[in-house]
Structure 1
Amino acid sequence: MIQARNLGMEVDSPEGRLHLLQDIDLSVMPGEAVAVLGVSGSGKSTLLGLLAGLDRPTTGQIWLDGIEITALDEDGRAALRARLLGFVFQSFQLLPNLNALENVMLPLELAGADAPHERAAELLAVVGLSERARHLPHQLSGGEQQRVAIARAFATRPRLLLADEPTGNLDTRTGAQVIDLLFGLNAEHGTTLLLVTHDAGLAGRCDRALELEAGRLPIPA
């Protein structure tokens, strides 16, 4: 589902050229759950952004579901994301002027899906938020917002789910509930999961874990 070869990312800074990622080789099989561990600044979120096609690497190639996204233009990458990917972010990334139901409906409407209202309502029921469907994000707790974000991520039945520190802004108990929900939906849908985290306990729930150190994967993936 994911292949990356000789992946590197460099940026200019006042201190000179920074190497955010170097010589990354990575393979993730369909249906596999893989965690990427690392301290802050190790390159985890940079790697996730490259694999999602949100940024272009300085060197290397990336394939998603057999398609080389590094050979696509911005529109091509956006179309592939809409067809293939779901996202869960640490900061939830809900649109503040849309209620919970509308936030979940949005990717369905953008994809031209049939009956987006019904599908969104069904997913809010799955995550236990039917009674909060008409609430705006600021009227929801952090855990509720993340559950809406998970429902949104699964709305288009993605084959690949990318999660960036999905419990980073949640307390321990709420984070555990959100992770149970995330892994439960992932297993039910047979989705491939790539999870970026600094939490070794969370990584232990995945099929395997890889650790980024200063932009490198010490052990070949």
Structure 2
Amino acid sequence: MTPSDRAPSPPPIVEAHGLSQRVATADGMLDILSEVELAVKAGETLAITGASGSGKSTLLGLLAGLDRPSAGEVLLLGQRLNDLDEDARARLRAGRVGFVFQSFQLLPALTALENILLPLELAPPAATDASPRARAADWLERVGLASRAGHTPRQLSGGEQQRVAIARAFATEPEIVFADEPTGNLDADTGARIIDLLFDLNASARTTLILVTHDDALAARCRRRLHLVAGRIHEASLA
């Protein structure tokens, strides 16, 4: 087989080109990100690390289409986000993108089961005979919280809330999961268990995982690491 006979490599699942973000402050314009170039293949695990204020969470939000850049572009799941309005970006993410946040972001009026059920009801119909409620219950069992299905977030510990959040992120069987400091509000022992759960579920689902963290133990679990210093990529290395 000659090189020309080989099948072309699939495009990255996420790309950033010339990505910059500037905000106005009392002292003038502040550059949060500057000319970031990035490509992530499907199935990769990538840690974005850096000191507080280096632009980690800003970069994650731009890659996920939660915010718009000052300059440059992001391609997510083959779509140029610059060309999409907020509603179109939300439709693109529905069922295809999952999120895990430091502050859990569970809806306080909903039970653990209902928090997982919500994205399943908003996502396009799945190719399965199981109802959304049955799928939500299955994911709650996978994270070891079947007995807490009727509990609201205030009745759960921090670790339990993050387990629900992880189940919610994976329940729609997304192609990519973004995680922003997923162990940041947890003690060391609970955080270690959450790390194991996150990577076990990610490996079984073969999902692309991009996470922001200041935790070296968490970053070391990723195949690839990208380090930011003052909004610029400082180094990218295998973990």
TM-score of the pair, normalised by structure 1: 0.97
- Does the 8 A contact of 2:228 with 2:235 survive in 1? no
- Does the 8 A contact of 2:224 with 2:236 survive in 1? no
Partner of 1:64: 76
Q: What are the residue-to-residue correspondences of 1:124-203 with 2, within 5 Å? A: 124-203=140-219
Q: Give the whole-Å Cα distance in 2 for the aligned partners of 1:199 and 1:138.
A: 26
Per the TM alignment, residue 15 of structure 1 is displaced from its structure 2 partner at its CA by 1.0
SS at match of 2:231: coil
- Does the 8 A contact of 1:31 with 1:190 survive in 2? yes
Q: Give the whole-Å Cα distance in 1 for the aligned partners of 2:124 and 2:222.
A: 33
Letter in 1 for 2:114: E
Partner of 2:4: none
Partner of 2:63: 51
Partner of 1:86: 98
Per the TM alignment, residue 219 of structure 1 is displaced from its structure 2 partner at its CA by 3.4
Letter in 2 for 1:103: N
Q: Give the whole-Å Cα distance in 1 for the aligned partners of 2:207 and 2:236.
A: 23
Per the TM alignment, residue 218 of structure 1 is displaced from its structure 2 partner at its CA by 2.1
Letter in 1 for 2:181: E
Per the TM alignment, residue 65 of structure 1 is displaced from its structure 2 partner at its CA by 1.9
Q: Give the whole-Å Cα distance in 2 for the aligned partners of 1:131 and 1:74.
A: 37
Per the TM alignment, residue 80 of structure 1 is displaced from its structure 2 partner at its CA by 0.7
Post-superposition Cα deviations, 1:9-62, rounded to whole Å, max 9, x if no partner, equal 001111110101001001111000000001111101100111111110011011
TM-score of the pair, normalised by structure 2: 0.90
Partner of 2:227: 211
Per the TM alignment, residue 81 of structure 1 is displaced from its structure 2 partner at its CA by 1.1
Per the TM alignment, residue 113 of structure 1 is displaced from its structure 2 partner at its CA by 3.6
Partner of 2:22: 10
SS at match of 2:65: coil
Per the TM alignment, residue 83 of structure 1 is displaced from its structure 2 partner at its CA by 3.4
Query: Deviation above 4 Å: which 4+ runs of structure 1?
Result: none
SS at match of 1:193: strand
Partner of 2:86: 74
Q: Which blocks of at least 5 consecutive residues in structure 2 are unaligned?
A: 1-12
Partner of 1:100: 112
- Does the 8 A contact of 1:137 with 1:145 survive in 2? yes
Letter in 2 for 1:48: L
Percent same amino acid among aligned pairs? 60
1:123–1:203 CA distance, 2 compared to 1 (3 A): same
- Does the 8 A contact of 1:25 with 1:220 survive in 2? no
Q: Give the whole-Å Cα distance in 2 for the aligned partners of 1:84 and 1:64.
A: 10
RMSD: 1.1
Q: Give the whole-Å Cα distance in 1 for the aligned partners of 2:124 and 2:173.
A: 13
- Does the 8 A contact of 2:120 with 2:172 survive in 1? yes
